[in-house]
Amino acid sequence: MWGMNEATKSAFGGYSSLENTLPLSEGIKAKLVELTEIHDRALDWADPCGPSLWSKEDFDNFETEACGVLKAIQAELDDRFLVWYEPIGEAEEP
């Protein structure tokens, strides 16, 4: 999770790793760790600027999981925080 403005940085001491400071359940924190690990497999670390290693199905599955955890986070944090998700991309045609 990333903060997107100075107010977030000021309130939570930075822009990244907000899941460690926000009042989230251990289940959501674990799901975020899992999604981060899955997300990092999309990148070809030998050619980071090259095409993703993921298929369309991989992207679709990730988006489904990410949207599910987004809804859970929004429910836990209620209206105290504005939380949104930006898709990471899509599969490139061969």
* Section 37-42 average pLDDT: 89
User: Which helix H or strand E contains 66, and what residues bound it?
Assistant: helix 56-77
All structural domains of the chain with their residue ranges = 24-94
Cα separation of 55 and 92, whole Å?
8
Q: How confident is the model at residue 88 (pLDDT cuts 50, 70, 90)?
A: confident
Query: Which pLDDT belongs to residue 83?
Result: 84
Query: Which pLDDT belongs to residue 68?
Result: 95
> pTM, whole model, 2 decimals?
0.77
CB atoms within 10 A of CB 31: 19
The three-state secondary structure class of 2 is strand
43 dihedral zone (left: phi>0; alpha: psi -120 to 50; beta): beta
Q: How confident is the model at residue 46 (pLDDT cuts 50, 70, 90)?
A: very high
Query: Could you tell me the two tokens for 92?
Result: 């490139």
In the numeric block, the tokens 């490139």 are attached to 92
